[in-house]
């Protein structure tokens, strides 16, 4: 595996693959890699001739300075994992390499970024849009792999690629979970043992609500029941729990009239904020 630090190095090393018509698969990450990331890597390997992973903790997508500063960093372990799994290139740029100047472009994703993560983390999706655009322009992958864990991000990126004609296929991978249902996340590393014990409440609430809806129960009653589940676990603070169209991110109040529906949620354990989602019809 080759470690690349600059845009020029990426261009140079991927040029040969491009000339040889080798499919370039790209997995963008912020590091602190876990089995969820490694599933994206596995899928990328199965579907591409050459795989490049980026590790860059993107400052512009953090609306909370403390969250950015405390974001877990495990670079040596990450490099070992990627090497073992047969990744060809890992791109670890400096902040200066990605942001030689403050971007003046601001991306507005319309109705998709006005709710949920967009509403609770102002500027987050602008930062995601900017960094993903830069990375796609540097790597120019044939296929780019993202996790369903960040469902609203998936909707944002699909719009970005469609609206700006990025020449890459977006491949989405299902959420990888711990045995107790907790969605794998780099931020889980920050949970203390007590918080880790109650963190599966988030997924329990999602599966409970999905079952209630599929049994024909009303959404608002279901959400009230979820709120009372959370009330019994005062260490977890629910931020939002919404039924949405996973294409438009329109907030829904029933399953009627839509086929791509999910429940999205965010909750705090202490100061650690976790997100998760569940699709209703699969
Ligand atoms: P991050 O490093 O958190 O920015 O995530 C990098 C990529 O990994 C994103 O496409 C995420 O959606 C994806 N990802 C994160 N956690 C998981 C998970 N538990 N299962 C599948 N994909 C994930």
Interval between CA 26 and ligand 1 midpoint (Å): 13
Does residue 164 surpass a pLDDT of 90?
A: yes
What was the pLDDT predicted at 13? 97
| pLDDT tens column, 96-134 | 999 999 999 999 999 999 999 999 999 999 999 999 999
| pLDDT tens column, 211-231 | 999 999 999 999 999 999 999
Spatial distance between the Cα atoms of 278 and 282, rounded to a whole number of angstroms: 9
DSSP string, 127-178: HHHHHHHHHHHHH--SEEEEEGGGHHHHHHHHHHHHHHT---EEEEEPPPB-
* Mean pLDDT in residue range 262-275: 97
Q: Which of 34, 37, 124, 142 is catalytic?
A: 37
Atom 6, ligand 1: which residue's CA is nearest?
Answer: 29
Does residue 198 surpass a pLDDT of 90?
A: yes
What was the pLDDT predicted at 108? 97
What was the pLDDT predicted at 282? 80
Spatial distance between the Cα atoms of 9 and 54, rounded to a whole number of angstroms: 13
Q: What is the mean pLDDT of the chain?
A: 97
Active site residue 37: yes
Q: In what side-by-side order are the strands of the sheet with 272-279?
A: 236-245, 261-269, 272-279
Q: At what angle do helices 201-214 and 219-231 cross, to 10 degrees?
A: 160
Interval between CA 145 and ligand 1 midpoint (Å): 9
| pLDDT tens column, 243-254 | 999 999 999 999
Interval between CA 226 and ligand 1 midpoint (Å): 25
> Confidence band (pLDDT; 50, 70, 90) for 59?
very high
Does residue 63 surpass a pLDDT of 90?
A: yes
Residues with CB under 6 A from ligand 1: 29-30, 36-37, 39-40, 146-147, 149-150, 173, 175-176, 183-186
């Amino acid at each position: 595996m080759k470690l690349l630090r600059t845009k020029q190095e990426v261009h140079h090393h991927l040029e040969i693959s491009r000339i040889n018509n080798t499919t370039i698969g790209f997995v963008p990450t912020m590091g602190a890699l876990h089995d969820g990331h490694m599933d994206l890597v596995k899928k990328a390997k199965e579907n591409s001739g050459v795989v490049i992973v980026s590790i860059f903790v993107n400052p512009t997508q953090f609306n909370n300075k403390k969250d950015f500063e405390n974001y877990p960093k495990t670079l040596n372990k990450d490099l070992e994992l990627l090497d073992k799994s047969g990744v060809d290139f890992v791109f670890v740029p400096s902040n200066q390499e990605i942001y030689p100047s403050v971007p003046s472009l601001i991306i507005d994703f319309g109705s998709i970024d006005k709710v949920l993560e967009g509403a609770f983390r102002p500027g987050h999706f602008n930062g995601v849009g900017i960094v993903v655009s830069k990375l796609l322009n540097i790597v120019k992958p044939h296929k780019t792999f993202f996790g369903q864990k960040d469902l609203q991000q998936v909707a944002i990126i699909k719009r970005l690629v469609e609206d700006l004609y990025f020449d890459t296929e977006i491949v989405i991978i299902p959420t990888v979970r711990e045995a107790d249902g907790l969605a794998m996340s780099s931020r889980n590393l920050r949970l203390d043992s007590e918080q880790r014990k109650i963190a599966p409440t988030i997924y329990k609430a999602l599966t409970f609500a999905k079952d209630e809806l599929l049994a024909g129960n009303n959404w608002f009653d279901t959400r009230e029941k979820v709120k009372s589940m959370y009330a019994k676990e005062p260490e977890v603070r629910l931020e939002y729990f919404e039924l949405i169209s996973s294409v438009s991110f329109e907030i829904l109040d029933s399953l009627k009239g839509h086929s791509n529906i999910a429940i999205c949620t965010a909750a705090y354990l202490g100061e650690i904020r976790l997100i998760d989602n569940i699709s209703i019809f699969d």
